[in-house]
Amino acid sequence: MARTVFPDNLVQAQKDWDRTYAALDAPRPRSTTVLRRRLLRLSARLVCHPFWSTAAGRSPAARVELHQVARDHEHGEETSP
């Protein structure tokens, strides 16, 4: 399967979103209002990113792959193309 090459800022935004969501989902999250606002800002940044208007970004599978790429980067499992 061909891997989509995502812009670095899109991958970083997804990683930040994942970390913020995990912090909000913690047993006793601190400053839930701050975390929720951050999650909304990051969600808007992800949805409005110009990548989604490109040919590679039009596929619904690209959004799923972005989540996987962000998780791989977070866990140090980066793979070279």
For residue 63, is it within any domain? yes
Which of 16-20, 37-41, 69-73 shows the lowest per-residue confidence on average (mean pLDDT)?
Answer: 69-73
- Please give the pLDDT value at position 45: 96
- Please give the pLDDT value at position 44: 97
- Please give the pLDDT value at position 2: 55
The pTM is what? 0.83
Asked if residue 81 has pLDDT above 50, the reply is: no
If one counts the domains in the chain, the total is 1
Alpha helices, DSSP H only, in the chain?
8-24, 32-47, 60-74
For residue 39, is it within any domain? yes
Cβ–Cβ under 8 Å, residues 57 and 51 = yes
Average pLDDT along the chain:
88
For residue 45, is it within any domain? yes
Mean pLDDT in residue range 14-33: 90
For residue 80, is it within any domain? no
- Please give the pLDDT value at position 36: 94
Domain residues for 38?
A: 9-25+32-74
For residue 79, is it within any domain? no
For residue 19, is it within any domain? yes
